[in-house]
A and B are shown apart, each in its own frame.
Chain A
Amino acid sequence: MNITASQPLLEVRRVTLQYKTKDHLVTATYRVDFDVYRSDRFVILGPSGCGKSTLLKAVGGYLPPVEGSMRLNGVEIRKPGSDRVMVFQEFDQLLAWKTVKQNVMFALKASGKLNGREAEERAMHYIGKVNLTKFSDSYPHTLSGGMKQRVAIARGMAMEPAILLMDEPFAALDALTRQKMQEELLQLWEDTRFTVLFVTHSIPEAVLVGNRILLMSPHPGQVKAEMNSDGTDRTGPDGRKLSERIHHMLFADEIEHETVAHG
C-alpha cells in the first residue's frame, strides 16, 4: 500500500488545451504538467488569460485535451464524473428550485451514490459542517452570497469525491466574507483532509489556502513555477516573503513582455 501513498492522485502530463470562440481558435494552455497528491490543497495561480479555469474544466472532464493526458488514480479522464466535483464561482450553480438540503441530496441521488434516508443523513452531516443546519429548508435565493457558496461546498464535499475542483469559489464575495470562507475551508480541510484543486488569481488567497502553488504564465498558459506554502507567507532563503516572490515572478513576466513588444 506504500505505492498508492507515494503515487500522485492526479497526473497531468503535457496537456495542451484549445477551445474555439466564434472566430478564433484559442490555445488556452500549452504542455502543462503537474501532480496532485492525496490531501493536497493544490492551488493553480495566474493572471487572467493563463488558462487556469480552462485547465480545471479539463480536469472536470468538460474539455478534452488536444495533446497530453490527465489521469485520476491511474484512470484517464474522458468525461465529467462524480469522482471530481466542481464548485463554481457563480451563485447560480445551486438549483434554485430546491432547498439547501434538497440541493445536497440531489447531487447524491442524481449520481446514484446514495438514496433515501442515507442521502438525507449524509446531506445534513455536511450542511452541519458548513454551519447551515438552520437554513437546510431555505431556498437559495433567500441566502447571502457566502451562504450560497457554503451550500455549494457542502454539496461537493457530501459527494466525498476523489478530488474537489474549486474555480475561484470566493471571487464573487465581499472581502470580509471571503476571508471568513477561506478560514472555514481550511478548518474543513483539517477535519476531513480532502484533496482540493483550487484555482485563483489572488496571491494572498493562494498563499493562505494552498500547500502547493502552481504558478502559470499567460497566453498561452504554461507552468512557470511550483512552490510550497505553509499558509503563513513565510520568508524564503533569499529574504523575501513567498507572496513577494510570486508577485515578482508574475510582474517580471509582464516587463519582459513589454520589452519584447517595444523592442
Chain B
Amino acid sequence: MAENVVLSRPEFVREVVADAYGVVEKPLTRWEKLYHNGALRKAVLLALLAAAWQIYATALNNPLLFPKFSETFAAFYAGIVDGVLLTRAGFSIKVLLQGYVIGLALAALLTALAITSRIGNDLLETLTSMFNPLPAIALLPLALIWFGLGNASLVFVLVHSVLWAVALNTHSGFLSVSQTMRMVGRNYGLSGPRYVAQILMPAAFPSILTGMKIGWAFAWRTLIAAELVFGVSSGTGGLGWFIYENKNQLEIANVFAGLFSVIIIGLIVENLVFQTVEKRTVRRWGMQS
C-alpha cells in the first residue's frame, strides 16, 4: 500500500561537507579570456574589414573611384600631420558643441514647462510630434535666409536636430518615474526645482542619456550634411566642407580620409564619452545592464 511506503522510509540528517568539490572556481583559459574582451573582438573585425577593402581596391585598381586602404590611411596621416584635418575637425566640433549645448538648454526648458503645467505638456507633445520627423537639413534654406551665410545658420539647424530628440526622451523619462519614487521625494519635503534635481532627473537619467546620445548622433550627421551644402565662413570650413572641396579637386583619397575622420570622431564620442558616463552612472546604479 502507498501509505506503508511513505511510512517505511527512514528520515535522515546529513553533515554537509565544506570542500566536497574538487574545483569551485577555475580560471578561464587564455583563449576564453581573449574572446571575452569586446574591444579585441571588434579590433579583429575592423582589421578584417580593412584587409577586405585593401584587396578589393587593389583588384579594382581605380584610385578615382575607390582608393586603397593604404592610400586613404596615408592621406589621413598626412592630413593629421600638416594639421588640415585637425583644424577642420576642430571647426566642426566647435560649431557642433554650440548647437548641442543650446539644444540641451532649450530641451531642459521645454521639459520643465511640460512637467509643471498641462499646457506646457501639450505644447511639448505637439511640437515634438511636428518637428521630430522633420529632417533638420530641410530647414537649412530657411536658416540661410534668416541668419545668412554664417555659423548662426549651422547652429540653428543643429539646435533643431538636438532639441526634439532630447526633449522627447527626457519627458518620457520623467513620466515613467514610479509613483513610489515620487511619494518618497515628497515625503522628505522635496518640491519644485529640488524635487526635479534630486528625484526626477536621476530617476529618469537612463532616458535622458539615451536622448543625449540620439541628439548627438543627429547633430553630427546634420552638421556634416549642412557643411556639404554650405560650410564656408570666414575662410575655414569644417569636415563636410573638406570632403566637398576634395571631391571637386578629385582628391578621392582625401575624401575618404575626411569620411574616416567623421567616423572616428563619432566612435570616440560614443565609446569614450558616453560609455564612460554610462559606466559611472546608470550601470553602476543597476538601472541598465
Which residues in A have some Cβ–Cβ distance to B below 8 Å? 57, 60, 62, 80-82, 84-86, 88, 90, 92-93, 95-97, 106-107, 110-112, 139-142, 159
In the complex, A92→B186 CA distance in Å? 15
Q: Do A93 and B180 form a contact, CB below 8 Å, given A140-B286, A141-B286, A142-B286?
A: yes
In the complex, which residues of chain B have a beta carbon less than 8 angstroms from the beta carbon of A81? 187, 189
Indicate whether B194 reaches chain A with its CB closer than 8 angstroms.
Answer: yes
Residue of B181, B188, B284 near A92 (CB, 8 A) is: B181
Q: Do A92 and B180 form a contact, CB below 8 Å, given A111-B189, A112-B189?
A: yes
Indicate whether B52 reaches chain A with its CB closer than 8 angstroms.
Answer: no
In the complex, A15→B97 CA distance in Å? 57
Indicate whether B285 reaches chain A with its CB closer than 8 angstroms.
Answer: yes
Within 8 A of A (CB), among B179-234: 180-181, 183-190, 194, 198-199, 202-203, 205
Q: Which residue, A95, A97, A139, has most C-beta atoms of chain B within 10 A?
A: A97
A97 and B285: CB pair below 8 A? yes
Indicate whether B287 reaches chain A with its CB closer than 8 angstroms.
Answer: yes
By size class, the interface of chain B is 20 to 34
A106 and B180: CB pair below 8 A? no
In the complex, which residues of chain B have a beta carbon less than 8 angstroms from the beta carbon of A92? 178, 180-181
Q: Do A111 and B188 form a contact, CB below 8 Å, given A139-B285, A141-B285, A142-B286?
A: yes
A96 and B286: CB pair below 8 A? yes
In the complex, which residues of chain B have a beta carbon less than 8 angstroms from the beta carbon of A80? 183, 186-187, 189
In the complex, which residues of chain B have a beta carbon less than 8 angstroms from the beta carbon of A88? 180, 183-184
In the complex, A85→B199 CA distance in Å? 17
B184 and A97: CB pair below 8 A? no
A90 and B180: CB pair below 8 A? yes
Q: Which residue, B178, B183, B286, has most C-beta atoms of chain A within 10 A?
A: B183
A110 and B188: CB pair below 8 A? yes
Indicate whether B87 reaches chain A with its CB closer than 8 angstroms.
Answer: no
Question: Shortest distance in angstroms between A166's beta carbon and chain B's nearest beta carbon?
Answer: 13
In the complex, A82→B287 CA distance in Å? 27
Closest A residue to B181 by CB, please name it.
A92
In the complex, which residues of chain B have a beta carbon less than 8 angstroms from the beta carbon of A62? 183, 186
Residue of A90, A110, A141 near B198 (CB, 8 A) is: A110
Given A81-B187, A97-B285, 18 additional A-B pairs, CB 8 A: A62-B186, A80-B183, A82-B187, A86-B183, A88-B184, A93-B184, A95-B184, A95-B202, A96-B287, A106-B188, A106-B198, A110-B189, A110-B190, A110-B198, A111-B189, A139-B286, A141-B285, A142-B286
In the complex, A110→B187 CA distance in Å? 10
Q: Do A93 and B281 form a contact, CB below 8 Å, given A110-B198, A140-B286?
A: no
In the complex, which residues of chain A have a beta carbon less than 8 angstroms from the beta carbon of B205? 97
In the complex, A140→B84 CA distance in Å? 50
In the complex, A84→B281 CA distance in Å? 31
Closest A residue to B190 by CB, please name it.
A110
In the complex, A60→B287 CA distance in Å? 28
In the complex, which residues of chain B have a beta carbon less than 8 angstroms from the beta carbon of A60? 183, 187
Residue of A84, A86, A112, A140 near B184 (CB, 8 A) is: A86
